[in-house]
Structures are given as structure tokens and as C-alpha cells.
Structure 1
Amino acid sequence: MELIFSKLLTQTDIERRLSVPTRILYLFPYTATDHRCFDLQVKDTGDVVWSFRCIRRDGVYAKPVFSKGWLEFVYAKGLKACDKIVVYKAKGVVEGDVPYRIEVKRKILRLM
């Protein structure tokens, strides 16, 4: 699998939307008709498919965000600030399957 990005989640990421790195935009399936948004399907480690709307905001700060669908994932997984997500693109995916994968890595609290 090819690593697309990983991110330690912030409070904004778990309460509103997930801000993703601008440098990865070329890896995603924008269409010629709508270069500002698309729906990205990802499969989690339990083989559940999730759909996130990826929007590239206008203006000087044109950072892309996952909006629609993202909070449902956050609530279903019980994500908290400082948890980490990792997004991969699988290689050799069969046509019709979802090529993107998402993995959650929980923040580990050390009791000492």
C-alpha cells in the first residue's frame, strides 16, 4: 500500500471537518467538471466503506477538507483529539473495489 497521508487529529478535526494536506490533492479523483469537490470512498480495517466529501476551499487558504461523511466516521469510531488516522492507496485493486484505506491509531496513555 502507498501512504497518502497521516494526521494527528485536532479538536477541530473531530468536531467540524478534517483538514488534509494540499500536497496530496493530485492523488485524488477530481473531475474536469468540478475541480473543487469530489466524494472519496475509503474502506476501514473492518471492510466498512465510508464516503467523505472532499472540498477545496476558495481564497488564499485553499486547503482541502473532508466535510460530509467525516463526522459520521468520527462518531462511529469514537475518535478523540490526538488519535491518528492514516490513509493509504491500495495497489492492485480489483475494478469496482475501493482503492483507498483508512486506519485509526489511538493515542496511548502511559500511566506512570
Structure 2
Amino acid sequence: MCTYGSGCFKWLLGQMQSMSKKRREMASFSKILSKTDVKKRLTVPIKFLKSLPSFDGGHAVKFEARDEGGEAWAFQCSVRRRGHRKPVLTRGWKAFINSKKLKTGDKVSFFKCKNRATAKTSYRVLAEKEIKIFGAIIGYAPLYPISCK
């Protein structure tokens, strides 16, 4: 879990750029995108449900996550009403994918952050493009927004 103040996201990006094991343990979850993740919905690990706001007996919960540029993205996580819960991100996911021009093989990470001073919880989302040389994946590069302002 990330505790943040004014510089939390810059700190997170610095941590993400290192290839340490510690970095991977900080993410609520990271995933290499599949064809279904890109075309329809993002299947998320069941353990991510503990990081989300309460479903309050329902089958869906909305939450907001900020990207590396500070832009807010509204997502909805849904689970099946019966049987295996199988959580997926539905609403807001396709807009995020299209905006970031993500493709199969790219990577996305979600983080839960808690402000120590206010105890307020927030979420961060980091998209990374797959880097290939001669067809071999050598790593992932974080996306940085290009501002025309």
C-alpha cells in the first residue's frame, strides 16, 4: 500500500521504474494484458476485491483511479451474483484502454494508496507499453502523457 502526500505518484513512478522484487509486491495487482482484457473487460485477481470499497451486498462497486498524469478514471468492478465471483473491470475500462492505446502484451498495475494524515483511500493506475527487440520482450515502459497546453 502506498502512503502519499503531495509526491506520492512521483515516488510510485520511481519505484515502478526499478526492477526490484519490492516493486512488484507494492502493487495491488499487475497484469500483462490478454486479448480479452483489451477488447472487452479486464479480469482481475480475486485478492484485489479486498482493496476495493465495500460491495455492500451488491455485485458491483465503482471506484476512481488516477493515472501517471493525474487524470481521474472512473471504473466499475463487477462480480458474478452466484458461484465463483470472477471479478472484472467493466465500465470505464475500454475508455482507458483506448486513451492509452494499450494492446495485448502491454501491462497495467493498480495501487491502493492511503493518506496518513486524512486516512483517505485513493487508487492509482499505471499503464506500461511492452518493449520488444528482435521479437523478444525486454521490459515495459511507463506511459507519460504529452501535454499540448
**TM-score class normalised by the smaller sequence:** 0.7 to 0.9
Q: Counterpart of 2:40 in structure 1: which amino acid? A: R
Taking the aligned partners of 1:83 and 1:104, their CA distance within structure 2 comes to 8
1:38 aligns with 2:61: yes
1:74 aligns with 2:84: no
User: Contact 1:42–1:98 at 8 Å: present in 2 too?
Assistant: no
For structure 2, which runs of at least 5 residues remain unmatched after alignment? 3-25, 136-149
With the length of structure 1 as denominator, give the TM-score of the two structures.
Answer: 0.87
For structure 1, which runs of at least 5 residues remain unmatched after alignment? none
With the length of structure 2 as denominator, give the TM-score of the two structures.
Answer: 0.67
Q: Counterpart of 1:18 in structure 2: which amino acid? A: L
Extract structure 1 runs of 4+ deviating beyond 4 A. Answer: none
Query: Relative contact order (alpha carbons < 8 A, sep ≥ 6): 1 or 2 greater?
Result: 1
1:27 aligns with 2:51: yes
Partner of 1:99: 122
Q: CA deviation at 1:58?
A: 3.1
User: Contact 1:83–1:105 at 8 Å: present in 2 too?
Assistant: yes
- Pairwise CA RMSD of aligned residues? 1.9
State which structure, 1 or 2, has the greater radius of gyration over its C-alpha atoms.
Answer: 2
User: Contact 2:109–2:125 at 8 Å: present in 1 too?
Assistant: yes
User: Contact 1:20–1:64 at 8 Å: present in 2 too?
Assistant: yes
Partner of 1:52: 75
Partner of 1:64: 87
